[in-house]
Amino acid sequence: MPVSTWKQKLGDAMPPPMAEEIDAFESQMTLKKQGRIDDKLFAETRLRRGAYGQRYDNGQRHDGIAARQLQFPSAATKGPDTLWDAPGMQRIKIPYGGLTPDQMEILADVAEEYSDAICHVTTRQDIQLHYVHIDDTPDLMRRLAAVGITTREACGNSVRNITGCSVAGVCHDETFDVTPYSRALAWFLLGHPDVQDFGRKVKVAFSGCKGRACALTNIHDLGFIARKQEINGEEKRGFEMYVGGGLGAVPYNAKLFDAFVPEEEIMPLTQAVARVYARLGEKRNRGRARVKFLVDKLGIEEFRRLVHEERKTLPHDARWTGYLDDVAAYAEKPLKPAAGLKPGGGDVHFETWRATNVYRQKQTGYGVATVALPLGDITSWQLRRLAGITRKYCGDSARTTVEQNIVLRWVPEADLPRLYTDLKSIGLAREGAGTLFDVVSCPGTDTCKLGISSSRGLAGEMHQRLATRWQQYDAAVQGLRIKISGCFNSCSQHHLADLGFYGVSRKVGGATVPHFRVVLGGQWEENGGAYGLAIGAVPSKRIPDFIDRIIEKYLAEREGNESFRDFIQRIGKRELKKVVDTLATVPPYQLDPSYYSDWRDPREYSISDIGVGECAGEVVSRIDFDLQNAERLYFEAQLAHEDGDHRKADGTAFAAMVAAAGGLVRLENLDIGDDPDVVIPQFRRLYVETKLFHDRYAGGKFAEYLFARHEQGERPADADQVRLLLEETQLFIEAAHACHARLTEKTDDDRAAAGGRDTADAVNA
Amino acid sequence: MTETPMFNDLHKIGIKFFTLSGNDVPLADFIPVFHRWIQHGSLNDTLVDVADYSHVPAGPGTMLIAHAGNYAIDETGNRRGFLYYSKRELPGSGVEARLAEVCRRNLDACRLLEKDEDTRECIDIDYGRLQIIANDRLHAPNSDETRQALEPVLKNFLARLYPGSGYKLESDSADPRERFSVTVSMQERAQSAEELLSRL
């Protein structure tokens, strides 16, 4: 019998928890279409499944002549001012960048069938697909789940993809391989109750050493750098732990939280950080809501004290140390025996590629080959073939990188010429990885709602111009990095680039002209150790000229072996501004209209397409999700009842009431879980005996529905009993909503009465 | 031939007409063309945006993203052509009707290319060589069963589009991981999109 849905076809191939989450998301989509979930809540719900908005999703687009409405078939929405039918971006989490060939093949398939046949590697090792219709996302997620990939919490106010060194385990400089730690923490935090109530996102990174840049811990909310320490004569593994780093408009360097956190403490300490951040972090002012602002506000000493206090209150979790068995057992097995590269025989292109794209592993006879992706893009056709190449040369050891490339690890050096030939046959043997030629760019105005200038257009232009020129520069210039963001939010990590740019606009003679602000001399090494100097703004169309001039200036004026960064520091802003100023003038439109459109976008430039970004997600508290979950379960119970499965309907309706009650209890007890025998007594004590749950007219009647059904335990439910229970469930959930609303109003009133003490003070009091 | 229920659910279909000439025209040159089509509302769909993948070798090239489907000067497999593929449900109760609808949408765009002042002199479409793609591995996996189900549909469709002409039909790949797709070479080619449209 032919199967007609991916859900049927994949069946047991999906891990049950993932399958259930995706089913739940699909139910939430149905409820949204029925108007039973509000826009804000659904927006955050889809964001936490990685389904992000995209430019023009408010249904308006400036076509170069005028702003026009995009006439989609439906006026339904999937968030505030976001149309259901408008294409969106699907972000896919790839923890520490680890990819297997099977995963590559499925990514290729879903990109081809639901997107535009392009997988885009991000600067945080995710994969993004663009122009995806939300109706396609459940199946897309199911196909990924079947190969162990989740999109959960890829966006929204939770813990995003955990990044890690792409050369972990094979690097000469690392203290130890951080791979099993980053993997364990990623899965520990995924969906964890303590990471559901943030004001903004949290980014975590693992690095094997301090000196290199691979994981950029300095720019993360939470960064771990591998350390070993002798304790009681025994060498112990642990991490130097940093908090409060971040880029964005105002970059913050991460602060040292602890010089050595033993490996068994990284999970509970992260959990404690999450709780402190959830409790004290800003939630109203989105621009001040990241961890970096909380650390800055409290000071690192106070932040540290609060986290350690919180740590003491955490209920023990066996997973904190349970994962260490996996760490001990973790070892990558090379597919093939080591073999050195025979000298000679390679052509000049191979040698150039080898010089820039191959890193010799600490394991003699093996190398890491970087597959350099232009602008981070790889086609489905290429990715499917790259999967085959990965299988052929290194088994399943591939990773995405923060420079938007893919690395193949454990390649026997003797195989490099053949690997090069195979990559060349699919257009993936581009040399110059990690050089001036390897331009990094965020999506910018191509697809991002916040984009101001065309970062990808400029990056594409630079990529084309540098293709034949980058090798003509001397080594000091070849090694420079260009990173281009479409706005100040720094998704390309322009603060860390030698030559960084971010999009801005300027009014010239009544028209708007795309520009890029120049940020020079950032430090990529030492985990993104220092941020560049922001100089002035240059018209978008003059940026290539600016790059030429600044490089010429460096070559002409550097002192000895002075690095570009040192040169920038030495000559300073005043001198650099002169270079900017020579290119800053915009001719009148009549003389040169090209300035008034952006790279690879002939439309007359306008900033009217800039929308409200979804980077910040929507501030939705944990109880909103709990109540939504109750609604979903109630809906599923109704469906089961319609299908005649009364037993399932009965159990699901009861679970819906427990979920709603649990949401209220969780306001007082974060660790409540979902066991009815635990939830219901606490609900009775906290809300019924105190009459907080009581309705003005019905009193405690609705709570009695829950208690009565709980007392009955397992029962052979018939259709009438279930119909009655469904009615009661609906009333109970409504009562839970009303109770929550009353509590919120009371909190607001208390806050007003307290004279506006800020949240932190109130909590500390 | 009775279509299997699975195959009959196929809605994601692509048709690519290969180019006769113009393979050296830079992909970026098509960006302003597609923007102009959006400005003028030239096609019968909600035209959303232009996507530039000219930097990617053998890729989807320059795309015009629309609601119901995407249009592209496509170079997948290093073969340039004009591609349209549907993304949403198509009208028509069977695959043959949907194939005709996809072809109609593609040819509507090809007709614009023939007339556009920037492209009419520099690119020629080969209206006798096309690729047909089932962009749906669930309902039309790359298998013998799909080929058997599709062959009579294709036969009818091609007889309607090219009455009296013989053709050669080749599978593009036997690899079950790939999408099902075939390349069709007609013995007699049409001269214009209009000519083919008149037969649909």
DSSP string, A340-369: PPPSS---HHHHHHHHHHEEE-SSTTEEEE
Task: Determine the average pLDDT of the residues in A724-732.
Answer: 87
**pLDDT of the residue at B133:** 98
Distance from CA of B170 to the nearest CA of A (A): 19
pLDDT in tens, A42-94: 999 999 999 999 999 999 999 999 999 999 999 999 999 999 999 999 999 99
**Can you tell me the distance from the alpha carbon of A479 to that of A219, in angstroms, rounded to the nearest whole number?**
22
- The structure tokens listed for B181 are 């797709």
**Can you tell me the distance from the alpha carbon of A505 to that of A314, in angstroms, rounded to the nearest whole number?**
49
CB contact under 8 A, B53 and A9: no
CB contact under 8 A, A602 and B51: no
CB contact under 8 A, B179 and A384: no
**Can you tell me the distance from the alpha carbon of A279 to that of A275, in angstroms, rounded to the nearest whole number?**
6
Element (H, E) at B66: strand B62-66
The pLDDT-based confidence of A2 (bands split at 50, 70, 90) is low
**pLDDT of the residue at A611:** 77
B145: nearest CA partner in chain A? A2
> What is the ipTM for the molecules in this complex?
0.97
DSSP lists the bridge partners of residue A243 as A222, A255
Mutation site, A379, A389, A424, interface B, largest B CB count within 10 A: A379
Q: What is the mean pLDDT of chain A?
A: 92
CATH classification code of A622-764: 1.20.120.330
Task: Determine the average pLDDT of the residues in A302-327.
Answer: 97
Q: How distant is the alpha carbon of residue A743 from its chain centre? A: 33
**pLDDT of the residue at A234:** 94
pLDDT of A146 > 60? The answer is yes
pLDDT of B5 > 60? The answer is no
| Maximal C-alpha separation, chain B | 46
**pLDDT of the residue at A628:** 87
CB contact under 8 A, B49 and A56: yes
**Can you tell me the distance from the alpha carbon of B57 to that of B50, in angstroms, rounded to the nearest whole number?**
18
**pLDDT of the residue at A758:** 37
Residue with token string 């790839």 = A94
pLDDT of A631 > 90? The answer is no
- Contact present, A627 and A44 (Cβ < 8 Å): no
Burial of A720 (0-12, 13-18, 19+ CB in 10 A): exposed
The pLDDT-based confidence of A756 (bands split at 50, 70, 90) is very low
pLDDT of B4 > 70? The answer is no
CB contact under 8 A, A464 and B55: yes
**pLDDT of the residue at A753:** 67
Provide, rounded to the nearest whole percent, the portion of chain B with pLDDT above 90. Answer: 92
**pLDDT of the residue at A752:** 66
Lowest mean pLDDT of A446-460, A467-481, A490-504, A709-723, name the range: A709-723
CB contact under 8 A, A113 and B5: no
**pLDDT of the residue at A527:** 82
Residues of chain A positioned with their CB less than 8 A from the CB of B138: 3-6, 9
**pLDDT of the residue at A481:** 96
pLDDT of A765 > 50? The answer is no
Strand order in the sheet with A222-231: A163-164, A204-207, A222-231, A234-243, A255-262
The pLDDT-based confidence of A759 (bands split at 50, 70, 90) is very low
Task: Name the CATH superfamily for A440-604.
Answer: Sulfite Reductase Hemoprotein, domain 1 (3.30.413.10)
Those residues of chain B whose CB sits closer than 8 Å to some CB in chain A are: 4-6, 9, 12, 28, 31-32, 35, 38-39, 46, 48-60, 63, 65, 67, 70, 76-77, 87-88, 135-139, 177-179
pLDDT in tens, A202-255: 999 999 999 887 889 999 999 999 999 999 999 999 999 999 999 987 789 999
Provide, rounded to the nearest whole percent, the portion of chain A with pLDDT above 90. Answer: 78
Mutation site, A54, A131, A391, interface B, largest B CB count within 10 A: A131
pLDDT in tens, A328-373: 999 999 999 999 998 876 789 999 999 999 999 999 999 999 999 9
pLDDT in tens, A543-572: 999 999 999 999 999 999 999 999 999 999
Q: Which CATH number fits domain A170-329: 3.40.50.80, 3.30.413.10, 2.30.30.60, 3.20.20.70?
A: 3.30.413.10
Residues of chain A positioned with their CB less than 8 A from the CB of B65: 87, 116, 131
**pLDDT of the residue at A764:** 28
CATH architecture for residues A6-145:
2-Layer Sandwich (3.30)
Burial of A658 (0-12, 13-18, 19+ CB in 10 A): buried
CATH classification code of A348-425: 3.30.70.3340
Element (H, E) at B82: strand B81-86
A440-604 and A170-329 share a CATH fold:
yes
**pLDDT of the residue at A638:** 86
**Chain A to chain B, count of Cβ pairs less than 8 Å apart?**
113
**pLDDT of the residue at A723:** 83
The pLDDT-based confidence of A751 (bands split at 50, 70, 90) is low
The pLDDT-based confidence of A698 (bands split at 50, 70, 90) is confident
- Contact present, A502 and A459 (Cβ < 8 Å): no
**pLDDT of the residue at A288:** 87
- Contact present, A172 and A71 (Cβ < 8 Å): no
Domain ranges of chain A: 6-145, 170-329, 348-425, 440-604, 622-764
Task: Determine the average pLDDT of the residues in B22-43.
Answer: 96
Mutation site, B48, B85, B131, B135, interface A, largest A CB count within 10 A: B48
pLDDT of A755 > 60? The answer is no
Burial of A330 (0-12, 13-18, 19+ CB in 10 A): middle
Mutation site, B49, B54, B136, B177, interface A, largest A CB count within 10 A: B49
Task: Determine the average pLDDT of the residues in A631-644.
Answer: 88
**pLDDT of the residue at A610:** 78
**pLDDT of the residue at A147:** 98
